[in-house]
Every structure is written in C-alpha cells, then in structure tokens.
Amino acid sequence: MELLQNLALGFGGAVSPINLLFCLFGCLIGTLIGVLPGIGPIATIAMLLPITFGLSPLGALIMLAGIYYGAQYGGSTTAILLKLPGESSSVVTCIDGYEMAQKGRAGAALTIAAVGSFFAGTVGTLLIAGFAPILASFAEKFRSPEYFSLMLFGLIAAVVLAQGSIIKAIGMIVLGLLLGLTGTESQSGTARFTFGVPELYDGIDFVPLAMGLFGFAEIMTNLDRRGRDRATAAPVGGMMPTREEIRRSIPAILRGTFIGSLLGILPGGGAVLSAFAAYTLEKKIAKDPSIFGRGAVEGVAAPESANNAGAQTSFIPLLTLGIPSTPVMALMMGAMTIQGIAPGSAILTERPELFWGMIASMWVGNLMLVIINLPLIGIWIKLLQVPYRLLFPCILVLCCVGAYSISSSTFLVMMMAGFALLGYVFAKIGCEGAPFLLGFVLGPLMEENFRRSMVLSFGDPVIFVQRPISLTILLAAVALILLIVIPQFRSTREVAFQDP
C-alpha cells in the first residue's frame, strides 16, 4: 500500500510535461550515441552536465538517466546488425545476434532485444522500488574474497561460451587475461606491458579493442568472402519474431532478467558478468547447445534482458549507500552533488519526491525507449540493404571517429588498427573473440581482488572458504567444471570408439 502511495508520488513528479520532455530528450540522445560505435554514455553525460546546472534536480537526473538507458538499448543495435559491441555487456549479443541478422532475422532479433530489455527494465525498476535497502545490504556482503570467487566463476563460465575447441578457448581466455593486466598495477604501482607508452598506463581501452577484434575483423573476412563468390546482401526478413522464436524467448528473458538484476546490484564488476552469465546459463540448459553461435534466439533474449536489468539495479548501491558501482553511476553521483543532493539513504527520507520521481521516470524511460525503438527497427534493417561496398566504409569511419573521441588520442586509433589485424588472424585460425574479451575484462579485477584478499588475511588462503558467500560461489564453480568436463570426456571417448 505504502509502495503504491510512493509510486503515485513518483509518477506525479515524473510525468509532468517538462520532465517527460527531458526524459524523451535523454532517450533520443542516448539511442543516438548507443548506435554510434565508440561514443559512450559517459562522455555524453559529462558533456551535458553543465546544461543540468540550471535544471530542476529531478529534470536533470531524469534526462541523464534517459541517456544511460537509451545507450543500453541503442548499443544492442550495432551489436546485432554489424557485430560491433559498444561496451563489454553487448559482446555476447554479437555472437548470436549477428548470426541471426546474417540469416535475415535481424528484425526479429532487434524486436526481441527491445521487448526483453523493456521487460527487464520494468522488473529492475520494481526491484528498486520495493527492495532497494534489502538488496543493498546483500551487495554489501560482497568484499574482495567474494569478488575473486565470482570472477573465477565467470572465467570458468567463459569456457562454456566457446563454440569450437575447448583448449583453444582456454588459450584465448589466458591471452585475454594477460592483455587485461596491461597498465599500472594497483598494489605496487608497477607499470606492466606498457612499453613506455603513457597511453597504456591505465590499461588498454575496451572500445577500440572490441571494435578491432569484432567489427573490423568481420569486415575483412566479409570482403574476402565477397571477393571470392560475390555473395548478395544478407536476406532481410520482417521485424516480427515467429511464434517459435517468441516461445523460446520468453523463458530466456525471465532467466536473463533474474541473473541481471542480481549481478547488477554488486558494485565493482558484477554488471560485467551479467550478460555472459545469462548466455552461459542458456547454453548450458538448452536441449541442443549446438544451435548457439548459429543464431539462437535465446542467445539474444537472455543477455539483452540481463544487461538492462543490471543497468537498472546498478542504481541501487548509489541510491541507498551513496556508492557508485559503475563509471556512469559515478557520473550520476556527480550530477546529484551539483544539485546539492547527497546520494545515499538520505535521499529517501529527505527528498522522497526526488527518489520516487526518479524511479517512476526509469519506468517511463523504458517505455519511451521501446516505443522509440520498435519503429526504428524497420529503418535499421533497411540499412542492411545498402550495398556492402558503401556500408563498410561508413562503419569504418564511424569507428575511427569513435575511437579517437574516447580520449582525443590518435594512439587509440592506431591501436585499433593493430587489434583489427589481430582479430582477422584470430578469425582465420578459428580462435574466438568472446572468451578472449571476457578474460580481458575479468583479469585485472580478479588479480586485484585476489591480492587484496591475501593482504587482508595476512596471506591465509582460508579466507576464500571461510566466508559463506565465497564458499558457495567456489562450490558452484567446481560444479560447473564438472558439467564442462564430463560431456567432453564422454564425447572424446565416443569419438575414439567410432574412429579407430
């Protein structure tokens, strides 16, 4: 009852015409930057920050939050159409989303991504409204040892992502981990693998790496193929998913939403895992895992829902504890500070109209995005009909500008060229990019949390099994290894018998 009253208060503030306008503006800008490779929500929100100085606090936050979700929705578009992941969370969407697009199911993939995101956003918003304090206290239990265990679990799950040879996937994870360690190490301050290049002191930027490894490698491979057999453009189907696709998507969306909501509340790295975890789960429980990587609709529905659920619930630590869990949240915190609001539990008691107004606007924003995005899908899939010889130079230019804009650095552009070559070689020799990128993202987090745990326990590894949450995750990791190893063992034995 109280919740309903609060929500009524929130909607009262959020649906005023001026705030709806801010929300719409934010969503539109967000969709635009989400679609443009390399231009992320962080740079855009930071740029718009001075504009918010003069706005009402609620209007300012509604607009900035709109940019954030808008970018989430828009990001999946390029991942599905062009195999260009805008951020770590849409890497997984590339795998099956792009395959679906190749088969003429781009419209269906985009529709399912948008609807799944909307559903997940709604659930995420309700969770914030109803259970934010409880969820936050759960998130607080995650400290260095728990994070290490969680990251380890994530890495093992990465093996499941592999479509081909498992040993190659492990090699790619290890290579990703190694590359992820580039930069200044946090305990001792040692610069590792920087070759004296100052741009590398803070590590390798994810965006040029992902664009090179996925987008550019795909362009080069495509041109090779077209040069040989003059393939016509990918078939363009309708934008409606088939009944079969809908049937398979619904449970995947539900599971993805659950995983994403849970991992999204963990500050410092939980959200990275959500899309990967959701994909892994789908592949593990599927009756026929071999369809994954060839355009499985579950491989789009689950990670996209997980992404968006996580994007919503990542507000929880900020709104209840005043702790920003991602760079975007740090920015939202900055916007609040400028407005003279101290983020944290005090908002709820001191400024209830602001707290509930934001929550209401989250839902309104999600609704707006699904309304904006569904008609856009028709336009996006038309893009695929543009002759490839015209399409790919445009993609290349947008990626270059995007890479440069990250920190006004030509070094990042050159680095992207290097990764493009590497990605092409990987594709030629059958090495997969997804496990590599997961290793890259998790490597530094894992090392940092492991070493910190060891310092905290004065060198006693028992710390990882003493804590119930950490122990539970580690046990789950062991179970996952068994799940991977047993069928593998069985199939090699079968092959050995059949193929003397």
Half-sphere exposure of 445 (CA within 13 A, CB side): 24
Is 387 exposed, middle or buried (CB count within 10 Å of its CB: 0-12, 13-18, 19+)? Answer: exposed
Compute the least distance from the CB of residue 443 to other proteins, in Å: 8
Which structure tokens are listed for 243? 């009944």
DSSP conformation letters of 1-59: -HHHHHHHHHHHHHTSHHHHHHHHHHHHHHHHHHHSTT--HHHHHHHHHHHHTTS-HHH
Compute the least distance from the CB of residue 311 to other proteins, in Å: 16
State which of residues 104, 130, 133, 171 lies at the interface with other proteins (CB under 8 A). Answer: 171
State which of residues 233, 240, 285, 425 lies at the interface with other proteins (CB under 8 A). Answer: 425
Compute the least distance from the CB of residue 292 to other proteins, in Å: 20
| Pairwise CA distance, residues 351 & 138, whole Å | 24
| Pairwise CA distance, residues 468 & 269, whole Å | 20
Half-sphere exposure of 378 (CA within 13 A, CB side): 4
State which of residues 1, 195, 232, 462 lies at the interface with other proteins (CB under 8 A). Answer: 195
State which of residues 28, 102, 131, 185 lies at the interface with other proteins (CB under 8 A). Answer: 185
State which of residues 227, 232, 375, 500 lies at the interface with other proteins (CB under 8 A). Answer: 227
> What is the contact mask toward other proteins in residues 312 to 341, using x (rule: CB under 8 A)?
---------xxxx--xx-xx--x--xx-x-
State which of residues 43, 254, 376, 469 lies at the interface with other proteins (CB under 8 A). Answer: 43
Q: What is the dihedral of CA 475, 477, 482, 484, to 10 degrees?
A: 170
Q: Binding to other proteins by residue 28, rule CB under 8 A?
A: no
Compute the least distance from the CB of residue 278 to other proteins, in Å: 25
Q: Binding to other proteins by residue 232, rule CB under 8 A?
A: no
| Pairwise CA distance, residues 98 & 80, whole Å | 5
Which structure tokens are listed for 146? 């728990």
Q: Taking a C-beta distance cutoff of 8 angstroms, is the pair 372, 27 a contact?
A: yes
Q: What is the dihedral of CA 93, 95, 98, 102, to 10 degrees?
A: -150
Q: Binding to other proteins by residue 352, rule CB under 8 A?
A: no
State which of residues 174, 291, 367, 471 lies at the interface with other proteins (CB under 8 A). Answer: 174
Q: Binding to other proteins by residue 495, rule CB under 8 A?
A: no
Of 449-488, binders to other proteins (CB under 8 A) are 450-452, 454-456, 458-461
Compute the least distance from the CB of residue 202 to other proteins, in Å: 5
Size of the site for other proteins (CB under 8 A): 110
State which of residues 80, 152, 219, 381 lies at the interface with other proteins (CB under 8 A). Answer: 219
> What is the contact mask toward other proteins in residues 77 to 116, using x (rule: CB under 8 A)?
----------------------------------------
> What is the contact mask toward other proteins in residues 377 to 396, using x (rule: CB under 8 A)?
----------xxxx-xxx-x
Compute the least distance from the CB of residue 97 to other proteins, in Å: 23
* Complex with other proteins: residue 109 or 311, whichever CB lies closer: 311
State which of residues 5, 12, 21, 186 lies at the interface with other proteins (CB under 8 A). Answer: 186
Compute the least distance from the CB of residue 336 to other proteins, in Å: 9
Q: Is 184 helix (H, G, I), strand (E, B) or coil?
A: strand
Cβ within 8 Å of residue 198, ≥6 positions away: none
Compute the least distance from the CB of residue 417 to other proteins, in Å: 4
State which of residues 7, 24, 42, 368 lies at the interface with other proteins (CB under 8 A). Answer: 42
| Pairwise CA distance, residues 75 & 97, whole Å | 12
Q: Binding to other proteins by residue 494, rule CB under 8 A?
A: no
Alpha helix stretches (DSSP H) within 288-432: 298-313, 315-316, 327-338, 345-350, 352-383, 388-407, 410-428
Q: Binding to other proteins by residue 243, rule CB under 8 A?
A: no
| Pairwise CA distance, residues 467 & 142, whole Å | 10
Q: For tokens 């069928």, name the residue.
A: 487
Q: Binding to other proteins by residue 500, rule CB under 8 A?
A: no
| Single-letter amino acid code for the residue at 484 | I
* Complex with other proteins: residue 356 or 440, whichever CB lies closer: 440
- In degrees and rounded to multiples of 5, residue 241 shows phi and psi of -70, 150
Which structure tokens are listed for 324? 């920003």
Compute the least distance from the CB of residue 445 to other proteins, in Å: 9
Of 251-280, binders to other proteins (CB under 8 A) are 267-268
